[in-house]
């Protein structure tokens, strides 16, 4: 058991709770309640160690006076020197984050947790299934995969939101859809469509049943509300996907992010430390939904 | 190496406390506050009460305080790290169960990431144990592994054993203890008759602890029966006040919040409804019995799986101070029988 002092430069004693100074260099209002922030780090000596994260890792972002909360990194590691987080407005901190502008400060602590690459996606066909803000960590992985397109097989992306207005990353979905061997399926919940909507209408797990993706040499990444993960994983299992080839992320409430404060546990598993990326095989071994 | 053992009287113990204070140590010992025994900083030896089964709080309060500043911000948005002041602390009169609890906290706060704030406080803190001659009926330390018992001294630096009304056997256990025992100017060297007396007291004390728990079997039964309706039944008495988590020497859950220009860490409790509520509104432990079960499982299953120890030290505080007398020992020791009784019952969602 090697104890790390903080996550920073070796040998310097620093508080593990001290955030790096980040500054917003770009931001985009994705939907009425989701905004993506691109944050650059001001302390040059830590930029490399911080941005050498892997898709699936998370950070704790904070605003002085309002506290901190965990967010999945939504940008790929290839984007050197900065990271992006996509924040859905839900509480006090996320409200304050939404009021920030370019040049404003965000504190960042991390990156923490394990990553999607543990599923060894290289050389495989990939199926991405996401709902709502669950697209954020998946977006990091999709960009990462497309950075090295030739190393991967067929790619299918299924994404669902409440309504058309609630779909983030719209331009990126369009760009991905134009690429060879990439199939993008967008869906909105019934009632969330407009007459000119050319995507699908229906809940993600229902639309998934229509895709009928072959489990052969395929990895599925599923992220979204608990019900989307549960139902999608069942569908995939029925198709013959092995439970270790279905990969998801659990995003429980966290405070410390490093396995101490206690609240994110599912059974003895600390989502922050052992996760947040788990295979469906691992999830099925966890206590049932009421843990 | 033969450890030096001495026998001192009450006055000698007072002198030792004065010597420690003179050498710059903050001495933290059980004292009387509002007619109850609490750990607190003592200014002279006589404030250290010696007749107590255990203090209401535990040394945890000084290593992992109820609230502490972890960062400070300036008006121009600079983040300033703040660390606890380096204080040389001596914890005096620590019962073996509480010493074991500190060992568990050491493990947790250095699990993968070293917690700078805890470690600064823990630093070279000296633990001087006081053997338990008269354990309470609620005690069950001997069942919790690691050799723990009323006279267990592995986790302390020095050990005191009260031999009779006013004499104490004092011995160094660690190197730190060796260095400190030299501050003791009075007392006589212990003889084998003193050792025999200590052994007799130890055997007596161990006999007084009648509660028995098979830790390995409890672990297995609990691990296999998370979904048993037994847990819902036994949690019924719990009112979710969280006092057990506050007084428990090993409970360590915390929250981090900003108050103005300070980032603070303070105790939280898994018994509180909002503790694990997600931003989405989903709450995985939305019912009292789930929160209660989480605490019991953390003590007897989860910590064992992650860090190879039971997180309970058998001090009995959670039962003693529980307003509805929820008895963790009774609950886990009867788990096997209780679970088989409920085997056919589905836990209501």
Q: What is the span of the domain harbouring residue B318?
A: 215-341
Residue at B247 is within a domain: yes
Q: Give the model's pLDDT for residue B76.
A: 84
Ranges of chain A with pLDDT below 50? 1-11
Measured between CB atoms, which of B83, B254, B270 is closest to A255?
A: B254
Q: Write down the pTM of the prediction.
A: 0.91
Alpha carbon of residue B207 to chain centroid: 22
**Directed axis angle between helix A135-146 and helix A170-178, to 10°?**
40
B326 with B284, same domain: the answer is yes
Please state, in angstroms and rounded to a whole number, the distance separating the CA atoms of residues B119 and B345. 46
Residue at A175 is within a domain: yes
- Numbers of helices and strands, H then E, in chain B: 14, 13
Q: What is the ipTM of this complex?
A: 0.88
Residue at A219 is within a domain: yes
Last residue of a domain, one of B159, B184, B208: B208
Contacts of B298 in chain A (CB under 8 A): 262, 265
Measured between CB atoms, which of A15, A64, A287 is closest to B116?
A: A15
Q: Give the model's pLDDT for residue B215.
A: 93
Measured between CB atoms, which of B226, B253, B260 is closest to A261?
A: B253
A127 with A39, same domain: the answer is no
Give A219's Cβ-side CA count (13 Å radius): 22
B121 with B168, same domain: the answer is yes
CB contact under 8 A, B285 and A290: yes
Please state, in angstroms and rounded to a whole number, the distance separating the CA atoms of residues A199 and A201. 7
Residue A70 CB burial class (10 angstroms; 0-12, 13-18, ≥19): buried
Residue at B233 is within a domain: yes
Please state, in angstroms and rounded to a whole number, the distance separating the CA atoms of residues A270 and A230. 20
**Directed axis angle between helix A226-239 and helix A204-211, to 10°?**
20
Residue at B90 is within a domain: yes
Give A35's Cβ-side CA count (13 Å radius): 20
Residue of chain A with shortest Cα separation from B273: A263
B123 with B239, same domain: the answer is no
CB contact under 8 A, B227 and A65: no
User: What's the maximum distance between 2 C-alpha atoms anywhere in chain A?
Assistant: 61
Q: Give the model's pLDDT for residue A44.
A: 77
Contacts of A267 in chain B (CB under 8 A): 226, 297, 302
B272 with B185, same domain: the answer is no
A85 with A34, same domain: the answer is yes
Strand, coil or helix: A187: strand
A107 with A124, same domain: the answer is no
CB contact under 8 A, B298 and A265: yes
Is the distance from CB of A222 to CB of A283 less than 8 angstroms? Answer: no
Measured between CB atoms, which of B109, B258, B268 is closest to A64?
A: B258
Ranges of chain B with pLDDT below 50? 1-2
B105 with B48, same domain: the answer is yes
CB contact under 8 A, A3 and B114: yes
B140 with B257, same domain: the answer is no
Residue at B346 is within a domain: no
Residue at B79 is within a domain: yes
Compute how many other C-beta atoms are within 10 angstroms of the C-beta atom of residue B344: 7
Residue B254 CB burial class (10 angstroms; 0-12, 13-18, ≥19): buried
Residue of chain B with shortest Cα separation from A110: B113
Compute how many other C-beta atoms are within 10 angstroms of the C-beta atom of residue A90: 15
- The DSSP bridge pattern shows strands A20-31 and A4-5 to be unpaired
Q: How far is A268 from chain B (nearest CA, A)?
A: 4
Q: How far is CA B26 from CA A37, B2, B183, in A?
A: 48, 29, 15
Measured between CB atoms, which of A64, A251, A263 is closest to B275?
A: A263
Please state, in angstroms and rounded to a whole number, the distance separating the CA atoms of residues B103 and B301. 18
CB contact under 8 A, B280 and A225: yes
CB contact under 8 A, B302 and A67: no
CATH assignment at residue A41: 2.40.30.10
Q: Which residues pair with B256 in a beta bridge?
A: B265
CB contact under 8 A, A256 and B276: no
Tally of domains in chain B: 2
Contacts of A62 in chain B (CB under 8 A): 258, 263
Of the candidates A162, A155, A144, the one whose C-alpha atom is nearest the C-alpha of residue A182 is: A155
Q: How far is A234 from chain B (nearest CA, A)?
A: 21
Residue of chain A with shortest Cα separation from B224: A287
A93 with A183, same domain: the answer is no
Q: How far is A21 from chain B (nearest CA, A)?
A: 8
Decide if A256 touches B, using CB distance below 8 A.
yes
B31 with B114, same domain: the answer is yes
Please state, in angstroms and rounded to a whole number, the distance separating the CA atoms of residues B36 and B69. 28
Residue at A75 is within a domain: yes
Last residue of a domain, one of B208, B231, B254: B208
Q: Give the model's pLDDT for residue A8.
A: 36
Residue at B349 is within a domain: no
Q: Which residues pair with A275 in a beta bridge?
A: none
What pLDDT digit, counting tens, does each position of A217-264 carry?
A: 999 999 999 899 999 999 999 999 999 999 999 888 999 999 999 999
Which residues lie closer than 8 Å to B16 by C-beta, 6 or more apart? B8, B45, B170, B183, B184
CB contact under 8 A, B114 and A107: no
Compute how many other C-beta atoms are within 10 angstroms of the C-beta atom of residue A185: 19
A78 with A151, same domain: the answer is no
Is the distance from CB of B108 to CB of A260 less than 8 angstroms? Answer: yes
Contacts of A266 in chain B (CB under 8 A): 284
A104 with A131, same domain: the answer is no
Residue that is written with structure tokens 């050197």 in the block: A80
Strand, coil or helix: B237: helix
Residue at A190 is within a domain: yes
B145 with B175, same domain: the answer is yes
Measured between CB atoms, which of B71, B226, B282 is closest to A17?
A: B71
Residue at B348 is within a domain: no
Q: Phi/psi at A57 (nearest 5 deg)?
A: -65, 160
Of the candidates B120, B70, B36, B101, the one whose C-alpha atom is nearest the C-alpha of residue B261 is: B70
Compute how many other C-beta atoms are within 10 angstroms of the C-beta atom of residue B140: 25
Q: Which chain A residues in 74-93 lie under 8 Å from chain B, judged by CB atoms?
A: 88, 90-91
A104 with A121, same domain: the answer is no
A91 with A70, same domain: the answer is yes
Alpha carbon of residue A264 to chain centroid: 17
Residue at A277 is within a domain: no
For testing contact with chain B, the best of A70, A86, A100, A260 (most B CBs within 10 A): A260
B184 with B230, same domain: the answer is no
A64 with A136, same domain: the answer is no
Please state, in angstroms and rounded to a whole number, the distance separating the CA atoms of residues B231 and B339. 8
Residue at A233 is within a domain: yes
Of the candidates A56, A38, A26, A235, the one whose C-alpha atom is nearest the C-alpha of residue A134 is: A56
Tally of domains in chain A: 2
A234 with A128, same domain: the answer is yes
Please state, in angstroms and rounded to a whole number, the distance separating the CA atoms of residues A180 and B307. 49
Contacts of A16 in chain B (CB under 8 A): 113-116
Residue of chain B with shortest Cα separation from A254: B276
Contacts of A4 in chain B (CB under 8 A): 112-114
Decide if A42 touches B, using CB distance below 8 A.
no
CB contact under 8 A, B275 and A67: no
Please state, in angstroms and rounded to a whole number, the distance separating the CA atoms of residues A146 and B32. 68
B315 with B261, same domain: the answer is yes
Measured between CB atoms, which of B116, B256, B301 is closest to A256?
A: B256
Please state, in angstroms and rounded to a whole number, the distance separating the CA atoms of residues A143 and A55. 9
Last residue of a domain, one of A59, A83, A112: A112
Q: Give the model's pLDDT for residue B124.
A: 79
Q: How far is B83 from chain A (nearest CA, A)?
A: 8
Is the distance from CB of A162 to CB of A188 less than 8 angstroms? Answer: yes
Measured between CB atoms, which of B79, B83, B278 is closest to A107?
A: B79
Please state, in angstroms and rounded to a whole number, the distance separating the CA atoms of residues A276 and B280. 17
B163 with B131, same domain: the answer is yes
Both tokens assigned to A147: 């950075």
Strand, coil or helix: B71: strand
Measured between CB atoms, which of B112, B286, B294 is closest to A258?
A: B112
Last residue of a domain, one of B178, B208, B238: B208
Q: What is the span of the domain harbouring residue A184?
A: 116-249
Residue at A271 is within a domain: no
CATH assignment at residue A196: 3.40.50.80
Residue at B347 is within a domain: no
Decide if A260 touches B, using CB distance below 8 A.
yes
Contacts of B83 in chain A (CB under 8 A): 15
Q: Which chain A residues in 143-162 lie under 8 Å from chain B, judged by CB atoms?
A: none
B200 with B219, same domain: the answer is no
CB pairs under 8 A between A and B: 143
A28 with A129, same domain: the answer is no
- The DSSP bridge pattern shows strands A277-279 and A246-249 to be antiparallel
Decide if A16 touches B, using CB distance below 8 A.
yes
End-to-end Cα, chain B, rounded Å: 61
Kindly report each contact of residues B20-28 with a partner whose C-beta sits within 8 Å and lies 24 or more positions away, as own/partner: B20/B90, B20/B180, B20/B183, B23/B183, B24/B88, B25/B88, B25/B89, B25/B90, B25/B126, B26/B87, B26/B88, B26/B89, B26/B90, B27/B89, B27/B90, B27/B92, B28/B59, B28/B62, B28/B89, B28/B90, B28/B91, B28/B92
Please state, in angstroms and rounded to a whole number, the distance separating the CA atoms of residues B16 and B6. 12
Residue at A129 is within a domain: yes
Contacts of A273 in chain B (CB under 8 A): 111-112
Q: Is A27 left (phi over 0), alpha (psi -120 to 50) or beta?
A: beta
A35 with A103, same domain: the answer is yes
């Amino acid at each position: 058991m090697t104890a790390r002092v903080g996550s920073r430069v070796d040998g310097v004693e620093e508080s593990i709770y001290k955030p790096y100074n980040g500054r917003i260099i770009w931001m985009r209002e994705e939907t009425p309640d989701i905004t993506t922030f691109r944050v650059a780090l001001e302390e040059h000596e830590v930029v490399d160690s911080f941005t050498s994260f892997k898709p699936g890792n998370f950070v704790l972002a904070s605003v002085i006076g309002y506290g901190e909360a965990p967010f999945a990194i939504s940008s790929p590691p290839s984007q050197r020197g900065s990271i992006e987080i996509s924040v859905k407005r839900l509480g006090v901190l996320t409200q304050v984050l939404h009021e920030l502008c370019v040049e404003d400060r965000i504190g960042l602590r991390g990156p923490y947790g394990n990553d999607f690459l543990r599923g060894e996606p290289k050389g495989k066909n990939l199926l991405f299934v996401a709902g709502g803000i669950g697209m954020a960590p998946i977006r990091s992985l999709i960009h990462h995969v497309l950075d090295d397109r030739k190393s991967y097989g067929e790619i299918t992306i299924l994404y669902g939101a409440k309504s058309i207005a609630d779909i983030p990353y719209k331009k990126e979905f369009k760009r991905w859809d134009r690429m060879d061997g990439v199939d993008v399926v967008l869906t909105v919940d019934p009632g969330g469509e407009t007459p000119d909507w050319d995507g699908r209408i229906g809940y993600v797990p229902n639309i998934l049943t229509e895709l009928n993706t072959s489990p052969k040499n395929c990895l599925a990444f599923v992220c979204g509300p608990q019900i989307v993960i549960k139902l999608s994983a069942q569908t995939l299992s029925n198709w013959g996907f092995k439970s270790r080839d279905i990969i998801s992320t659990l995003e429980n409430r966290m405070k410390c992010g490093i396995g101490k404060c206690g609240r994110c546990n599912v059974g003895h598993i600390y989502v922050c430390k052992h996760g947040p990326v788990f295979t469906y095989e691992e999830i099925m071994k966890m206590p049932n939904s009421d843990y | 190496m033969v450890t030096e053992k001495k026998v001192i009287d009450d006055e000698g113990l007072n002198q030792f406390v004065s010597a420690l204070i003179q050498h710059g140590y903050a001495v933290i010992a059980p004292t009387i506050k509002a007619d109850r025994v609490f750990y607190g900083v003592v200014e002279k030896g006589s404030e250290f009460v010696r007749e107590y089964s255990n203090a209401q709080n535990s040394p945890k309060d000084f290593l992992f305080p109820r609230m502490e500043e972890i960062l400070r911000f300036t008006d121009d948005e600079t983040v300033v790290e703040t660390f606890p002041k380096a204080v040389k602390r001596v914890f005096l009169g620590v019962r073996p169960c509480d010493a074991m609890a500190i060992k568990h906290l050491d493990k947790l706060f250095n699990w993968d990431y070293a917690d700078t704030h805890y470690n600064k406080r823990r630093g070279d803190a000296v633990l001087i144990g006081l053997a338990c001659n008269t354990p309470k009926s609620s005690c069950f330390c001997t069942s919790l592994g690691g050799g723990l018992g009323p006279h267990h001294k592995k986790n302390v630096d020095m050990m005191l054993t009260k031999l009779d009304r006013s004499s104490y056997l004092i011995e160094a256990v660690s190197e730190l203890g060796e260095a400190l025992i030299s501050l003791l100017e009075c007392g006589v060297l212990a003889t084998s008759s003193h050792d025999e007396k200590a052994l007799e007291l130890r055997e007596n004390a161990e006999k007084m602890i009648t509660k028995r728990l098979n830790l390995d079997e409890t672990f297995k039964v609990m691990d296999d029966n998370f979904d048993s309706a037994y847990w819902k039944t036994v949690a019924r008495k719990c009112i979710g006040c969280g006092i057990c988590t506050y007084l428990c020497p090993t409970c360590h859950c915390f929250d981090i919040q900003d108050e103005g220009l300070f980032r603070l860490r303070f105790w939280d409790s898994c018994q509180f409804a909002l503790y694990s509520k997600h931003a989405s509104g989903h709450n995985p432990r939305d019912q009292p019995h789930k929160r209660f079960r989480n605490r019991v499982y953390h003590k007897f299953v989860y910590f064992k799986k992650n860090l190879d120890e039971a997180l309970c030290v058998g001090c009995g505080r959670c039962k003693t101070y529980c307003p509805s007398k929820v008895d963790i020992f009774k609950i886990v020791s009867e788990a096997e029988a209780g679970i088989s009784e409920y085997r056919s019952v589905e836990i209501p969602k």
